[in-house]
Amino acid sequence: MKIANIHTQPECIPEIAAWLQQEWGHLSPEKTLDDRIRHLSERCRNDDLPVTFIAIADDENVGTVSLVPHDLKSRMDLTPWVAGMFVKPEARGRGIGSRLVGFAEAEAQRRGIPTLYLFTPDKQRMYARLGWTTIEEVEYRGEHVTVMTKSCPPVANPAVPASQ
């Protein structure tokens, strides 16, 4: 499996947008599929946050994860966030989600980001297994979610994280 920045794989943007719309569209009903495609396309223009990555296994797109400045309007004081972590249902159970999160963490370290945040309605156990800590439980757009954090110790010689 390899993990790549979507700026090197722009043809995957409509598929990623469709995944995100299907999985989390209910949390942002004002966002259309076209809005998601436009936002992902904007992420291809430079290497600043937000940035999105795609996991590719056997020449098939199987998952995605992003680093974004903010992901929860009630916690604008926390930044940046791991967001949009998604693995296609037929590819789950193979460690792809854990590898995507690890890749995002390594990218944060490379960028000198000391702490990451995320929220999840139902994957608390997976993130806890990966070293994430719960900081609060909140309601977000009618859904109970857990806000979690993880420290990203700086690396001595930051380099682009190796594709996993």
pLDDT, tens only, 61-119: 999 999 999 999 899 999 999 999 999 999 999 999 999 999 999 999 999 999 999 99
pTM given for the model: 0.89
Q: What is the mean pLDDT of residues 42-52?
A: 82
Where in the chain are the domains?
2-112
Task: Among 1.10.3720.10, 3.40.50.300, 3.40.50.80, 3.40.630.30, name the CATH number for the domain at 2-112.
Answer: 3.40.630.30
Beta strands in 48-156, from DSSP E residues, in sequence order: 51-57, 60-68, 81-87, 115-120, 133-140, 143-151
What is the C-alpha to C-alpha distance for residues 104 and 108, in angstroms, rounded to an integer?
6
Q: What is the mean pLDDT of residues 154-163?
A: 57
Residue 44 pLDDT: 74
pLDDT, tens only, 113-145: 999 999 999 999 999 999 999 999 999 988 899
What is the C-alpha to C-alpha distance for residues 8 and 124, in angstroms, rounded to an integer?
31
